[in-house]
Amino acid sequence: MSPTPSSPQTSGSTTSSTPTVIPRRGLMLVLSSPSGAGKSTIARNLLERDRSLEISVSVTTRQRRPSEIAGTHYHFISIPQFERMRDSGELLEWAEVHGNFYGTPREPVEAAMADGRDMLFDIDWQGALQLQEKMKADIVSIFVLPPTMTELQSRLHRRAEDSEEVIATRLANSRAEIAHWREYDYVIVNDDLNTAFEAVQSIVRAERLRRDRRHGMFDFVTGLIEETPVL
């Protein structure tokens, strides 16, 4: 959602039927977890309910899963295509995860940030670290944990979209991924999906209200102080 200009709110013309909107910077919401903990499910729920959030569609060299739509879930590309994008600086961050390459196209993110729109990133800890280094002020990062390793394993099987071999690789990598939990702003345990989802929604709501993101607040407060009440 593009913020509206600050002038209507600073001129004293606000009425109860026109809500005050304070212009702010867009935020970059990063969700990471070991595979199967539920971050894509949480991300999907958020995107369905929050129209002002858009997803960053990554490029990947992995095989498309049966349920995935090219261009919606990922841009599925070849290794040479990936290498070309990476080497020409078209990726904001990239990583090798579970034996495949993944990366975030730079252009849509820069356009969203310039417009003050919010973006959601479903990326691993390596990507989260790269974004933190480049755009620290705009990042809100959340790490999603499974309640138990047994439940993680059964979710990977229940998803039923990967081969036994792929599931085994992902499980074997999960402890090393979980070890990065301290690098995130928030950590939530996805035991009950609704509870976890509500926690993520609360984080987004509060982060959107942070003073340092709301650059329009200065003009708003200046207008407020200078305003002469009309009886």
215 binding partner (options ligand 5GP, ligand ADP, none; Cβ < 5 to 8 Å by kind):
none
Dist. CA 130–CA 132, nearest whole Å: 5
Asked whether position 26 contacts ligand 5GP by CB under 6 A, the answer is: no
The amino acid occupying position 52 is: S
Work out what residue 104 binds among ligand ADP, ligand 5GP, none; the CB cut-off runs from 5 to 8 Å by kind: ligand 5GP
CA atoms in the 13 A half-sphere facing the CB of 162? 19
Q: Using an 8 Å Cβ cutoff, are 93 and 123 in contact?
A: yes
List the x/- string, 48-87, binding to ligand ADP by CB under 6 A.
Answer: ----------------------------------------
> Within positions 115 to 154, which residues make up the interface with ligand 5GP, using CB under 6 A?
122-124, 126-127
Give the count of residues interacting with ligand ADP (CB under 6 A). 14
Candidate segments 14-22, 93-101, 153-161, 220-228, binder of ligand ADP by CB under 6 A: 153-161
CB of 20 to ligand 5GP, least distance (A): 36
Size of residue set near ligand 5GP by CB under 6 A:
16
Among 27, 30, 46, 97, binds ligand 5GP (CB under 6 A): 97
Phi-psi region of 118 (alpha: psi -120 to 50; beta: other; left: phi over 0): beta
The half-sphere exposure of 83 on its side-chain side, counting CA atoms within 13 A, is 3
With b for 16 or more beta-carbon neighbours within 10 A and e for fewer, the 152-174 pattern comes to: bbebbeebeebeeebbeebbebb
Binding site for ligand ADP (CB under 6 A): 33, 35-41, 155, 158-159, 190, 192-193
Binding site for ligand 5GP (CB under 6 A): 32, 35, 58, 62, 93, 95, 97-98, 102-104, 122-124, 126-127
